[in-house]
């Protein structure tokens, strides 16, 4: 399924994400189709360090094109 220019996910994974009971779980399912678990663990939405953990380091910002595809 084509989400935006250069961003697509397989139709079975897209349909599975749509079956989620809440919007947030749908976004989580779709994001797992766009990034691997390792990529998700090493990225954040804003790219800033966690304010709740002193000494934490900033993670790589999520790909803007993929974030826009998730928002739409």
Q: What is the pTM of this model?
A: 0.67
User: What confidence score (pLDDT) does residue 70 get?
Assistant: 81
Domain spans of the chain, in order of start: 2-71
User: What confidence score (pLDDT) does residue 46 get?
Assistant: 81
User: What confidence score (pLDDT) does residue 12 get?
Assistant: 93
User: What confidence score (pLDDT) does residue 47 get?
Assistant: 83
Averaged pLDDT, groups of 10, the chain, 72 residues long: 89 92 90 88 83 86 83 80
User: What confidence score (pLDDT) does residue 58 get?
Assistant: 85
Of the candidates 61, 63, 59, the residue with the CA atom closest to the CA atom of residue 49: 59
Cβ burial, residue 72 (10 Å; 0-12/13-18/19+): exposed
């Amino acid at each position: 399924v084509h989400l935006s220019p250069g961003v697509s996910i397989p139709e079975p994974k897209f349909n599975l994400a749509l079956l989620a009971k809440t919007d947030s779980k749908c976004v989580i399912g779709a994001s797992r189709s766009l990034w691997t678990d390792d990529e998700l663990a090493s990225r954040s939405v804003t790219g800033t360090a966690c304010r709740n953990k002193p000494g934490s380091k900033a993670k790589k910002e999520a790909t803007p094109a993929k974030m826009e595809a998730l928002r739409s």
